Every structure is written in structure tokens, then in C-alpha cells.
Amino acid sequence: MAMPVAPVLRYLRTLRRFWGTALATQLEYQLNALIELLAMAGNLAGSLLLLWLFHRQGVALGGWSWNAVLVVLGAYTFLDGLTSTLLRPNLSRIVNHVQEGTLDFVLLKPIDSQFWLSLRTISPAGLPEMGLGVVLMLWAARRELGALPPAPLLAAAVLLLAAAVILYALWFVLAATSIWFVKTWNATEVLRAALTAGRYPVSAYPAGLRLLFTLVLPVAFLTTVPAEALLGRLTPLTALTSLLLACGALVISRAFWAFALRFYTSASS
């Protein structure tokens, strides 16, 4: 991308300040961080328990082995951590900005408003979960394959990034609808509930749900595809689809925000 260096540096410096202040705020609530950590451990233990309940009945979910299923769970854990670290703390505020009118301040800053709204704060309590997700993916893949060749590793990293972008775009578009509907928080709860389906490989679902999770809600691209990449089972076509989907989702989220702002800036009094 041909981008002048100075603005990029300014955005980076801004980001440092954003997250520096965010960390300072959160230090006031250490207890919250501890609870977050315990909840994370509990959730992971519960997910493992559930997988084991299938396993002990001799069920291979969608034909995936125990270790392969753990790779999917690792990808889910990573994205769940990302949600707690960046998506939830930032995007849930858009509603407040609209309700309290402080979106005006954001719009009057000489900085991209989507950048501000998406990355304004960071919640470090979710970082261990992201790390744990990656470790689980690598550990389980290694046990499944015996070794981790660099090519699938790279492919998995890229596709996990694509998954993060898709997830972000979904959340952002939903959160941006708060320009029209004040209470969109419940809608994001629906999204969050539906995305828990990503804990398991998409082939473990009946045909109807599999279609739904691939075409309507891209759950398959969030967790199953990166896991397949790491396990070296991915077809190039799927990888390409995932990348195109990520680019498309990002473009759509920007266009949608511009569209939503047109309503905000012409309708508010």
C-alpha cells in the first residue's frame, strides 16, 4: 500500500496512548482480572469435559480425532480471547457514544472514526485466553501430526488472522446498527450465542446446520478452516474463499459505517 509514513506513525502513536490509558484504567480493577482468568479456566475445562463426554461414548465429532477436535477448540479459545480483549470492550461502547452524544467528539477528531471506535481500549484480561488458544492449537496439532511443518503453520496463522477479521467485521456491523436502534446489545448476544457453535468442527453438525454455519453465519471459516490449515487438510479453494471473505467483510464494514454515519450526521438534532 502506498501510504505516507507520517500518518501511519501518528496512528501507531495514538494506539500506544489508547492502550496505555486503557491499561491504567484496568489496573484499578485487579479483582476483575482475576475473575476473568478463573472464568476462562472454567470455560476451557468445561469445553474439554464436553468433548470428553462425546469421546468416551466413542463418538468422533464429524469424524475428527480427539487431538484434531482440540485444534478447533484452540482456535475458538483464541477468538474468544480476542473478543474479550478488543471486540467487546470497544464495540459495546458505540451504543453509549450514540446514546450520550459523545460520538460527536469522536467524529470531530482528525482521525479515522472506525479506527477510534474499534481500537480505543484494550482489556488485558483476555490476553491469556488468546495465548492459551494458540498453545492448545499447536500442542494438539503436534500430537496429531507428530511434527509441525512450517507451511501449514504459516497458512494457519494467515487464516486465523482472516478469521479474526471476519469476526471483527460481523461484530462491528452489528454494533454500528446502534446508529438506528439504540439497544443492539441483545443482538450481539444472539451473535455471541450462535458463534459458540464454532467450538466444534462444522462437519460435526447435521447437513442443515452445516449449511447455515458456512453460508449464513461464517462459523466454519472462524475455527474449522484455520484448524484444517494447521492439520494440513485444507484445499487451496477453501483457503482462498476464506481470504476473500475476510477482505470482503472488512470492506463491507467500512462501507457500512460510512453509510450509517450518513444517517447519524443528517438525522441527529
HEC-encoded secondary structure of 196-226:
HHHHCCHHHCCHHHHHHHHHHCCHHHHHHHH
Q: Which residue has the cell 460527536?
A: 104
Complex with another protein: residue 84 or 246, whichever CB lies closer: 84
Our CB check for another protein shows the closer of 77 and 156 to be 77
Distances from the Cα of 146 to the Cαs of 82, 138, 178, 224, 231, in angstroms? 28, 11, 48, 20, 11
In the complex, minimum distance from the CB of residue 181 to another protein, in angstroms, rounded to a whole number: 8
The answer to whether the CB of 125 falls within 8 A of the CB of 84 is yes
Rounded least distance, CB 157 to another protein, Å: 28
Contacts of 140 (CB under 8 A, 6+ apart): 67, 68, 70, 71, 73, 74
CB nearer to another protein: give 7 or 248. Answer: 7
Which residue, 48 or 243, has its beta carbon nearer to another protein? Answer: 48
Name which of 151 and 258 has its Cβ closer to another protein: 258
Half-sphere exposure of residue 132: CA atoms within 13 angstroms, side-chain side = 17
What residue ranges bind another protein (CB under 8 A)? 10, 13-14, 16-18, 20-21, 24-25, 28-29, 31-32, 35-36, 38-39, 42-43, 46, 49-50, 53-54, 56-63, 100-102, 104-105, 107-111, 183, 186-187, 189-190, 192-194, 196-197, 200, 204-206, 208-209, 265-269
Q: How far is the CB of 49 from another protein (least distance, A)?
A: 6
Smallest gap, in angstroms, from Cβ of residue 147 to another protein? Answer: 26
Least distance in angstroms from the C-beta of 4 to another protein? 12
User: Smallest gap, in angstroms, from Cβ of residue 172 to another protein?
Assistant: 18
The nearer residue to another protein, 130 or 239, going by C-beta atoms, is 130
At residue 268, the 3 state secondary structure works out as coil
Q: Give the Å distances, CA to CA, from 62 to 56, 70, 202.
A: 15, 13, 7
